[in-house]
Structure 1
Amino acid sequence: MTGPGSGTIGQSPGGGSAPPANKNLVLLPGVKAEPFYISMQCGAEAEAAKLGYQLQTQAPDQFEAGLQTPIVTGVLATRPAGVLIAPTDDVALANPMTQLKDAGIKVVEVDTRLQDESVALATVSSNNEQGGQLAAQTVAQLIGDKGKVLVLNTKAGTSTTDARAKGFEDEIAKHPGITYLGQEYTDNQPAVAAQKVTAKLASDPDLAAVFATNLNTGEGAATGLRNAGKTDQVRLVGFDASPKQVEGMRSGEVTALIAQDPATIGRDGVQQVVAAIEGKPVQREIQTDLIAITRDDMDSKSQYFYKTAC
């Protein structure tokens, strides 16, 4: 789905187009073996094959700029025609991604983005701020517009989750009966998320709801609530629809999920990078749908559940 203010652009001036014979693409997700990125990979692979391109995927073991940067450097040496990348830091990845651009490789951001908008030709992502607003509206409904609410974020400098947290904070401020306890960072580690929930329950035993801004944080928050025996008391709204979170919603440990459409992000990303390679117009901004899923309607919205294999 196209976001407001989207436009089209051609190839970047002096970009040094790759030879038409080069049909090689590389997808660089934020982390390996995460259902969100696997689902994105599935969509990207299918679209690449449809358009006659080969797509290879390389990802770090953890969502870390220090681990993703050498992968980007390694890809630079192989000179693919295009790269789809989810930068793990909105500043730290600017230099390695600029090196790709300067080498004539077409760069498209998928999921996350740099602060510097001059590096990538296109950005394909969910409307994350809107997703945070949807999460806040869902929380408010679930707790009857009153009570204490905590946000668990991943890492500062992650463009997607920071936008979700901002959207949530802006929207929850419209509900005066809700006390916003702020956000805490989990380093994208489920164990840390579980610890944060445990600590918050100790200081605020009347905690009413938790919004977890991504998959790992949501899974960890569910563990923390389960270990504390507070699953029935605290409403957990997660972001992403991984198999574990879907299972948690079915069992009642997760109250609601804000699901993205990662396969479409992958598909649209491939379409934009191929357009750039072939000298066709590129759409600078593309935003895909998000949807709130609850236990009551989860079976009718199963197409939004993430995959663990293509």
Structure 2
Amino acid sequence: MKHRLYSSVGLIVLVMTALMLSACTAVAPSPAAEAPAAATEPPAGEAPTVALIYGVRGDGFYITMEAGARAKAQELGVNFFADGPAQFQPALQVPILDAVIAQKPDAICIAATDRQALIEPMRRAHDAGIHMISVDTFIGDTGGDYTAPELDWMLSYIGSDNVQGGEIGCNAIIEAMGGKGKFYIQTTQPGVSTVEQRVEGCMKAIEATNGAVELIGMDYNDDNAAKAAEQTAAVLAANPDLGGIFGTNLFSARGAAQAVANAGLTGVVKVANFDAPEDAIVALRENVVDIVIAQHPYEMGEKCIEFAVAAVNGNFDAIPKRYPTGYTIITRENVDTEEAQRSIYKSE
């Protein structure tokens, strides 16, 4: 990995881009913020260095995010490297962050694995003179609002509107259930900002049925698909009339879908898969899951590099504190469309 000293930065040419990604179905995602001026040439002098620290190694979502960041870094002449823990755990991510801080990059884009445990480690990076950008997840208790005084040292939060994503997913499952019945949520662990917001959105969808849909429970699987399958199997055994399941991330949905298939309830119990890895699309085609909600991690990776370059050049007016990306809703009816295929997370 190339190390560098900070150097003076010359004038760059800026162009305006507007990235508005919309869903494949009639359910529209939240409108993305108008894209700020994005760098199209590298700064003068020695190239800047940007690191991406993702949430978990080998996850198609983060592989796709890294691909977007790497492509944009190559386009802009940025030195780039990426790393992340083997499990979505702050105890494993913090040492990686500390090692990256020691390498003194100009900016770090990070998907924090806990909204509280990562505050101080990320603050250490900022205090070392490194620009800090959140991707996918956020830190603190302000719901991703980095204009709040306690978090205004953070440059930006790039990520989906997860409350809306949870509401979209659960509304789709409730509709597939005929608007009534028993509902179950499979999720990861407490303290993860994105999945907490997806659960919040799902609760809104359930509450809007005025009691027609009954939430019978929610389990935490620690980002372990095998554990999610075991928990879901127990719920199915106790509730043979279960109507729908919302998996708040790919591990949750993968395990839930496996349990549904093992119980011989494919097509009977409706399953929403939040996130769109390749195996989720296979499950969609095989009627194991009924809807796949694709985020836009490639765009998140691109934006983190663009914002980092803008920061290195002192162009802070071009960097919004919050940049929301949209969703692509994939169903069996539209799975083969160009937009849906482009939204699938790649495993390599």
**Do the aligned partners of residues 159 and 140 (structure 1) sit closer, same or farther apart at CA in structure 2, a change above 3 Å counting?**
same
> Offset of 1:91 from its aligned partner?
0.4
The answer to whether 1:121 aligns with 2:155 is yes
Counterpart position of 1:235? 270
Counterpart position of 1:270? 305
* 1:68 maps to amino acid: Q
> Offset of 1:254 from its aligned partner?
1.2
CA distance in 1, matches of 2:234, 2:75: 50
> Offset of 1:296 from its aligned partner?
1.4
- Scaled by the length of structure 2, the TM-score of the pair is 0.83
Q: Hey, which bits of structure 1, 4+ residues long, moved more than 6 A?
A: 2-9
* 2:249 maps to amino acid: N
> Offset of 1:170 from its aligned partner?
1.1
> Offset of 1:8 from its aligned partner?
11
**Do the aligned partners of residues 244 and 182 (structure 1) sit closer, same or farther apart at CA in structure 2, a change above 3 Å counting?**
same
**Do the aligned partners of residues 233 and 8 (structure 1) sit closer, same or farther apart at CA in structure 2, a change above 3 Å counting?**
closer
Q: How many residues align?
A: 301
Structure 1 contact 106–273 (Cα < 8 Å) conserved: yes
The answer to whether 1:254 aligns with 2:293 is no
Q: Note the 1:81-160 alignment, pairs <5 A.
A: 81-115=106-140, 117=146, 118=151, 119-160=153-194
CA distance in 2, matches of 1:180, 1:174: 12
Greater Cα offset, 197-206 or 33-42: 197-206
Counterpart position of 2:225? 190
Structure 1 contact 90–158 (Cα < 8 Å) conserved: yes
Residue of structure 2 aligned with 1:181, choices 199, 216, 219: 216
Counterpart position of 1:307? 346
- Scaled by the length of structure 1, the TM-score of the pair is 0.92
* 1:148 maps to amino acid: K
Residue segments in structure 1 that go unaligned for 5+ positions in a row: 10-18
> Offset of 1:167 from its aligned partner?
0.5
CA distance in 2, matches of 1:224, 1:123: 35
CA distance in 2, matches of 1:99, 1:299: 46
Residue of structure 2 aligned with 1:56, choices 68, 81, 85: 81
CA distance in 2, matches of 1:41, 1:26: 10
Greater Cα offset, 109-118 or 137-146: 109-118
Counterpart position of 2:245? 210
CA distance in 1, matches of 2:302, 2:47: 19
Give the secondary-structure state (helix, strand or coil) at the position aligned to 1:283. Answer: coil
* 1:154 maps to amino acid: T
CA distance in 1, matches of 2:34, 2:261: 46
> Offset of 1:262 from its aligned partner?
0.6
**Do the aligned partners of residues 205 and 188 (structure 1) sit closer, same or farther apart at CA in structure 2, a change above 3 Å counting?**
same
Q: Note the 1:26-65 alignment, pairs <5 A.
A: 26-65=51-90
CA offsets, 1:237-288, max 9 Å, x none? 0101101111111111111111111100111111111111110022110001
The CA RMSD measured in Å over matched residues stands at: 2.0
Give the secondary-structure state (helix, strand or coil) at the position aligned to 2:75. Answer: helix
- Calculate percent identity across the aligned residue pairs: 34
> Offset of 1:5 from its aligned partner?
11
* 1:275 maps to amino acid: A
* 2:175 maps to amino acid: Q
> Offset of 1:172 from its aligned partner?
1.6
